[in-house]
Amino acid sequence: MAAHSATVAPVAPIRRESTLLQLLRNRQGLIWLSYLVLLVAVALLAPTLALYDVNVTDLAATNAKPFTPGHPLGGDGAGYDIYSRLIWGSRQTLIAVLIVVSVSAAIGATSGLVAGFYRGIFETAASFVSDAIMSLPGVVLLIALYAVTGPNLPAAMGVFGVIVAPTYYRLVRSIVITVRKELYIDAARVSGLSDLRIVGRHVLWAVRAPIIIHSSFIMAAGIGIESGVSFIGLGNPAAASWGTTLQRSFNGIYNNPWGVVWPSLLISITILAFVLLGNVLSDVLQSSSRNKVLSARQRRSVIARSAAVIGEVATAEPSKDSILSIRGLRIGYLTPDGEVREVVHGVDFDLRRGEIHGLVGESGSGKSQIAFATLGILPREALVLDGSVFLNGEDLMADPRKMRAARGRRIAYIPQEPMSNLDPSFTVGAQLIYGLCAVRPMSRPEAREILLALLQRVGIKDPERVMKMYPHEISGGMAQRVLICGAVASEPDIIVADEPTTALDVTVQAEVLDLLRELSEERGLAMILVTHNLGVVADLCHTVTVMKDGRFVENAGVEQIFDSPSDPYTVELLRSSRSVELMEIAS
Amino acid sequence: MTPPLLSLKDLVVGFPTRGGHTNVIRGVNFDLAPGETLGMVGESGSGKTTIGRAILGLAPVRGGSISFRGRLISNISRAERRSLAGDIQAVFQDPYSSLNPAMTVESILVEPLAAAGVEEGTARVRELLDAVGLPSDAGSRYPREFSGGQRQRIAIARALALRPSVIVCDEPTSALDVSTQATVLKLFRDLQQATGVAYIFISHDLGVVSNISDRIAVLYQGEIMEIGEAAQVTAEPRHPYTKRLQLAAPLADPRKQRARRLQRQALAKAG
């Protein structure tokens, strides 16, 4: 068999931390997890920790104040030691919580898995049952249950588990429906895996984290319900629980107000522990991005540190005959270990009026970063380490107000994904008019007239009708024409187009490229065209810059680049691109 | 002539919609010979991906038939479909979502072997990694540690694991950079030479398809416009739609592209 090891770059292994370790590193996670571990230990060691047995009363301790010898938290109206009752009560609380979580997770998560994976009749039936249960008044149901079974905490908690099961069902079902569409599920099916194995290996993994997080909130609710049920007298008066302790102390609140404080505090802190632990868990298990947004001060210090490494760079002047000049632009991102990773290494760039300049490179070359920097729309975690963007000789990078004034007015933008750049809840006409009125002072009817004419110009046959349509009603090609119309409506000097035809079919791409060329010629528009497609560059651009790893490797007129590329990387790109091209066509 | 490996007859694929069905594939016929590469090219909505999914049993066949080595495989039970895993495999478009991020490369590659009850295990994994040009220590790492091109190699290794006779490749290079695309296409060709596997190679890019295919089918709105030898379809297209597709693909050469553009614009004006 053939080997291609030479083409594969070595990959650095990524250190992987276990979830538990990440949880313990988080200060809140550590505090609340320790608290809960302590609580479990207390429940297990109750016989040694409690000063008295569960049902021991001491008449001398009736309504005793806190810190009475032998009764550290005082006593209640019946002479029970509050401290011992709370210690014993933690057992019942934990058992109650476990019952709620296991019943609701078992019913809800299992039915959610099956409903989401197989859909069909089971899903319809299960969703109906789930909606029906959710419409039941839970606490009323528990009170009614008491009338039937008497004080029976496990039964009450089991029923409460059934009542909250729909929350698991809904959560799991909606995740499974999404996961089911992932290609790795299709791949597993094609690999010959049985449904049971697909669910066990692939689907369960995806729902694991949300179930854990949700369980933490359900446990908090379980404590609240257990205490509440006991408090209103539906618990077993013979057994110790936080709720019954609270109730007894409450009955004697005028004799010993302190008695109410301890159980209330314990219940509140424990509920808080579960809720906050749930939040920490969701941060740890579902962290999507490791890039942090820095404060202005941190930003300045990082930039200063990186400048110290680079040393003094000669102050650059903008070119006289260019409409846009970029000088010494360096962009970086902060890595998790606090280092700055530079993705654009000090580039210089000039754009003349009416020039269409192609910025070519592969993914990660930094071409889009330059486009975004020109528009001042870099992601928030990006750091502009150095450099200037001059528009007609004025540095936009130095003054955010100038950047804002130029954006959309002097420099317009055409994005890669036309659909995600239109707001689905407004008609095409409404968002075009809103956009135009925002950058040019005019009335809405005036804006409408201008846009109707422009829509016609960008090749939309029935502009009146299209203006009344919502984005989902038009095709991708039409959406891109609408965005081009919106970009040129403010009569800018420069358009930054980021892969404007990548999402389009090839026949539509050809038409959109024709349109961009014509608009540039008619209006003397300069354009920065960011693309990975050398064919698109050859079709549209006058000048080309080839980028690799954040640097410009070659910059020349389009014919020179394609006829006699000087850099080996350009040669390689051209060779790869031409290897999948249809050169000869009989006419 | 050798009997076909895969044979599609009057294939109709449809999806339920409000108040009925919409057929997205409307009567498609073709045969695939052993060791052959059939390219399927078309624009979005042409149904090229749906045909691939129907062959894999992932899309509902509403009419016509698909047979593999003379055995009917459309609308068979899930258990019967599982027995086909050793014969028909797939490489999907997106190498990011086609690999489960929680599994190591080794467990991804072992999965089809285990499901088929093959006992080769790690030895076969090393063989597969070597075949697709990945280092042998790649097995213990996770998919996110690899680049797009390397991930696609992992997906190809998974497809090869059970030594299939057909692999359905659905836009396997569309998400890759041009230079990576060229090396992955070469890998596909080398593997075909070494193993004699047949490909159904689906792409929106006529250039990519012509680079790898023996024959090409051009699809438009669920029907085949033209099917023939790759050289014929790309150099002397018979159907006007193929011609349009061709002329719309830009060339990486400004002068030739200018000529092609004028040709395209002239054709558009005439039509």
Domain residue extents for chain B: 239-271
**CB within 8 Å: B56 and A509:** no
Mutate to test the interface with B, among A186, A190, A533, A576 (most CBs of B within 10 A): A190
Looking up tokens 């997080």, which residue turns up?
A213
Mutate to test the interface with B, among A360, A581, A584 (most CBs of B within 10 A): A581
Chain A residue nearest residue B57, CA to CA:
A190
Reported confidence tier of residue A4, pLDDT bands at 50, 70, 90: very low
Mutate to test the interface with B, among A185, A478, A506 (most CBs of B within 10 A): A506
Q: How far B95 CA sits from the closest chain A CA (Å)?
A: 9
Predicted local distance difference test score (pLDDT) of residue A300: 79
What is residue A95's DSSP assignment?
H
Find the CB nearest A538 among B90, B130, B251.
Answer: B251
Taking the CA atoms of chain A, what radius of gyration do you get in angstroms? 34
Chain B contact present for A195, CB below 8 A: yes
Percentage of chain A modeled with pLDDT above 90:
54
Element holding B213 (H helix, E strand): none
- Greater pLDDT, A148 or A437: A437
pTM over 0.95: no
Instruction: Give me the residues paired with residue A395 across strands.
Output: A390
Residues of B in contact with A5 (CB under 8 A): 133-135
What is the SS3 assignment for A132? helix
Chain A contact present for B122, CB below 8 A: no
Looking up tokens 């429906």, which residue turns up?
A177
Predicted local distance difference test score (pLDDT) of residue B98: 93
**CB within 8 Å: B83 and A192:** yes
Neighbours of B221 (CB within 10 A): 14
Domains contained in chain A, CATH given: 19-285 (1.10.3720.10), 355-375+396-578 (3.40.50.300)
Predicted local distance difference test score (pLDDT) of residue A144: 87
**CB within 8 Å: A11 and B162:** no
Distance CA B271, CA B265 (A): 10
Chain B contact present for A182, CB below 8 A: yes
Distance CA A401, CA A383 (A): 18
- Greater pLDDT, A139 or A118: A118
Q: How far B3 CA sits from the closest chain A CA (Å)?
A: 24
Contact B198, B36 (CB under 8 A): yes
Distance CA A326, CA A384 (A): 13
Chain B contact present for A202, CB below 8 A: yes
Backbone dihedral region for residue A357 (phi beyond 0: left; psi -120 to 50: alpha; all else: beta): beta
Predicted local distance difference test score (pLDDT) of residue A583: 61
- Greater pLDDT, A72 or A436: A436
Instruction: Please name the residues between 197 and 236 in chain B that touch chain A, using a CB distance below 8 Å.
Output: 204-208, 210-211, 234-236
**pLDDT tens-digit map of A121-131:** 999 999 999 99
Q: How far A238 CA sits from the closest chain B CA (Å)?
A: 49
Q: How far B251 CA sits from the closest chain A CA (Å)?
A: 5
User: Among A7-11, A255-259, B125-129, B173-177, where is mean pLDDT lowest?
Assistant: A7-11
Chain B contact present for A582, CB below 8 A: yes
* Average of per-residue pLDDT across B249-268: 92
Q: How far B256 CA sits from the closest chain A CA (Å)?
A: 9
Instruction: Please name the residues between 434 and 493 in chain A that touch chain B, using a CB distance below 8 Å.
Output: 476
Q: How far A137 CA sits from the closest chain B CA (Å)?
A: 36
Predicted local distance difference test score (pLDDT) of residue A9: 39
* Average of per-residue pLDDT across A87-92: 90
Element holding B126 (H helix, E strand): helix B122-131
**CB within 8 Å: B179 and A362:** yes
Q: How far A114 CA sits from the closest chain B CA (Å)?
A: 17
Residues of A in contact with B207 (CB under 8 A): 580-582
Number of CB pairs < 8 Å for A and B?
Answer: 218
What is the SS3 assignment for A252? coil
Residues of A in contact with B102 (CB under 8 A): 205
pLDDT at A6 over 60: no
* Average of per-residue pLDDT across A494-510: 92
Closest CA to B34 of B188, B195, B212: B195
